[in-house]
Amino acid sequence: MSRALTIYDHQSAGRPGRRGPEPPAGALADIPAHLLRPEPPQLPEVDELGVVRHYTALSHRTYSITRGFYPLGSCTMKYNPAINEMVAALPGFSGLHPDAPAEYSQGTLELMWHLERALCAITGLYRVTLQPAAGAHGEFCGMLLFRAWHRAQGRNPTYVVVPDSAHGTNPASAALAGYQVKVVRSGPDGLVDGNHLAEIVDADCAGLMLTNPNTLGLFERDIRRIANIVHDAGGLVYMDGANLNALLGIARSGDMGVDVLHMNLHKTFATPHGGGGPGAGPVAVAERLAPFLPRPTVERDADGGFYLDYDRPHSIGRLHAAHGNVGVLVRAYCYIVALGGNGLCRVSRTAVLSANYLRARLRGVFPIAHDRPCMHEFVLSLRNLREQGLHAWDVCKRLMDFGVHPPTVGFPINVPESLMIETPETEPPEMLDRFADALIQIAREARDTPDMVSSAPHTTVIGRLDEARAVRQPDLCWKPRPQQNPED
């Protein structure tokens, strides 16, 4: 397979003296001298079309949900409706100064107030802080709430229990808040082993961090018993709700005995994410934890006006400048309002149906870690490929040749050679079929022509690279490349 030849070569673009539009005479005079570069930058000289082509060519190298299927388990890469972008761009939201006083930001505060109520209704919990900027930030907030609550009871427990299937941010957040971490095993059914939990929990336990559905895509059906074990020992139950895509309008964490929950608006509620961009990880709490929430909170006064309440003496303090990532909050609110309660319920039903459809189509192609009805995602174990000298990541690389973003690989870590597949509600059935067909073909190749898989991808600009080095020493700046002889 060869790469397409392109006439445009961004490395050799530009000729001395070529330029874009000249700024009007005198326009540069207003720029303070210290902001002007003494020397021109060492960049190719290009005209406006050259600049546009350069960035357009680069954008074609980037993969996103707007290009194709993105079955990244646990990450819920769903379509982000364009209307959300339009609403977030309204000047009243996008142009608001972060420090604007409440009387000038009534619209934004009103939206935040309603978003909090909507998230309370969805989760069955009492109050929500919108400040945390990501899931991991929400977890950290949750762990600070654990501490504050225990201190208020005159307790100082030392550890938090985390299942072996947990997202890596869970133990990290507990440790960052000063807790030791104890690991509770999953049983052969992929669910938390309640007996093991009962053995390791004692009066020194601050609580449990649990993902439900767990990272195997399975619903922890003993959640009430699990919560009781922790509560009876004096601990609290934290739920990692980064991904609520299976539960919307179907089950509420508050009814399951959960005390603290974070949600990733950038996963479940269709706001863009990835690449380190802004997210939001609101934290919902049961009534007894509400006094400790970050301040300020958004409140409504008797006349229907909105204000920020700083007078919260038990608060753990502020977790984000201004009001959090407000643009993300606007998009999520727009998604929730556009769908309404029934629409959200349909989101979850469709996501769960899609995942189970795909699971059924892949049965017999690759072993499924726990082959029974799943929630919004499921996990394959590709350990048999080791006989061919192949790994799960080889299948991921080969999938890229089919124009698909690879699923999550190597997580959860309690499944060998895992591939975690999530199918959000926005994917049509024919896309699921094409994806299943691709995996079926790759399984055949792995058996008959394993080189085809181990040397993939064959169609991308860059094939296999040293991934550890690419992360540690990223090469992000344009550098001139010596001109090559086209005959080479």
CB nearer to ligand PLP: give 105 or 354: 354
Joined together, the tokens standing for residue 133 give 């900027």
CB nearer to ligand PLP: give 125 or 242: 242
Residue 49's CB is within 10 A of a number of other CB atoms, namely 9
Residues whose CB is less than 8 angstroms from the CB of residue 204 and which lie 6 or more positions away in sequence, other chains included: 157, 158, 159
Name the burial class of residue 99, with classes exposed (0-12), middle (13-18) and buried (19+) by CB atoms within 10 angstroms of its CB: exposed
Whether residue 227 contacts residue 256, with contact meaning beta carbons closer than 8 Å, is answered with: yes
Nearest distance from C-beta of residue 485 to ligand PLP, angstroms: 46
Rounded distance between C-alpha atoms, residue 394 and residue 397, angstroms: 5
Rounded distance between C-alpha atoms, residue 273 and residue 80, angstroms: 10
CB nearer to ligand PLP: give 168 or 341: 168
Q: Is 171 in the site for ligand PLP (CB under 6 A)?
A: no
Nearest distance from C-beta of residue 78 to ligand PLP, angstroms: 13
- Stretches 132-140, 224-232, 440-448, 450-458: which one binds ligand PLP (CB under 6 A)? 132-140
Nearest distance from C-beta of residue 330 to ligand PLP, angstroms: 18
**Which residues in 467-481 are b (16+ Cβ under 10 Å) and which e?**
eeeeeeeeeeeeeee
Q: Is 243 in the site for ligand PLP (CB under 6 A)?
A: yes
Taking the alpha carbons of 14, 16, 21, 24 in that order, is the dihedral positive or negative?
A: positive
Residue 217 phi/psi, 5-degree rounding, is 80, 15
DSSP state of 186: B
Q: Is 290 left (phi over 0), alpha (psi -120 to 50) or beta?
A: alpha
Q: Is 379 in the site for ligand PLP (CB under 6 A)?
A: no
CB nearer to ligand PLP: give 73 or 254: 73
Residue 166's CB is within 10 A of a number of other CB atoms, namely 24
Q: Is 135 in the site for ligand PLP (CB under 6 A)?
A: yes
Q: Is 408 in the site for ligand PLP (CB under 6 A)?
A: no
CB nearer to ligand PLP: give 50 or 71: 71
Q: Is 193 in the site for ligand PLP (CB under 6 A)?
A: no
Residues whose CB is less than 8 angstroms from the CB of residue 361 and which lie 6 or more positions away in sequence, other chains included: 432, 433, 436
Distances (CA, A) of 152 to 147, 227, 318, 321: 9, 21, 19, 26
Write the binding mask 418 to 457 for ligand PLP: x where contact by CB under 6 A, - elsewhere. ----------------------------------------
Map the footprint of ligand PLP across residues 140-169, applying CB under 6 A: 167, 169
**Which residues in 254-273 are b (16+ Cβ under 10 Å) and which e?**
bebbbbbbbbbbbbbbbbbb
CB nearer to ligand PLP: give 277 or 428: 277
Nearest distance from C-beta of residue 221 to ligand PLP, angstroms: 18
Largest CA distance in the chain: 78
- Stretches 25-33, 102-110, 131-139, 398-406: which one binds ligand PLP (CB under 6 A)? 131-139
Q: Is 201 in the site for ligand PLP (CB under 6 A)?
A: no
Q: Which of 84, 264, 268, 297 binds ligand PLP (CB under 6 A)?
A: 264
Task: Please identify the residue of the shown chain whose CB is closest to the bound ligand PLP.
Answer: 135
Residue 300 forms beta bridges with which residues? 306
Q: Is 240 in the site for ligand PLP (CB under 6 A)?
A: yes
Nearest distance from C-beta of residue 136 to ligand PLP, angstroms: 3
Name the burial class of residue 294, with classes exposed (0-12), middle (13-18) and buried (19+) by CB atoms within 10 angstroms of its CB: buried
Nearest distance from C-beta of residue 279 to ligand PLP, angstroms: 5
Whether residue 340 contacts residue 179, with contact meaning beta carbons closer than 8 Å, is answered with: no
Nearest distance from C-beta of residue 242 to ligand PLP, angstroms: 3
Joined together, the tokens standing for residue 59 give 């954008």
Q: Which of 134, 177, 289, 443 binds ligand PLP (CB under 6 A)?
A: 134
CB nearer to ligand PLP: give 157 or 163: 163
Nearest distance from C-beta of residue 260 to ligand PLP, angstroms: 14
Map the footprint of ligand PLP across residues 279-318, applying CB under 6 A: 279, 281
Rounded distance between C-alpha atoms, residue 419 and residue 380, angstroms: 5
CB nearer to ligand PLP: give 167 or 397: 167
- Stretches 3-11, 83-91, 134-142, 437-445: which one binds ligand PLP (CB under 6 A)? 134-142
CB nearer to ligand PLP: give 142 or 281: 281
Place of tokens 């003296």: 17
Nearest distance from C-beta of residue 211 to ligand PLP, angstroms: 5
Joined together, the tokens standing for residue 26 give 């005198």
Return the beta strands (E) in 231-356 as ranges: 236-241, 260-263, 283-285, 297-300, 306-309
Q: Which of 46, 71, 74, 143 binds ligand PLP (CB under 6 A)?
A: 74
Q: Which residues bind ligand PLP (CB under 6 A)?
A: 74-75, 134-136, 167, 169, 211, 240, 242-243, 264, 279, 281
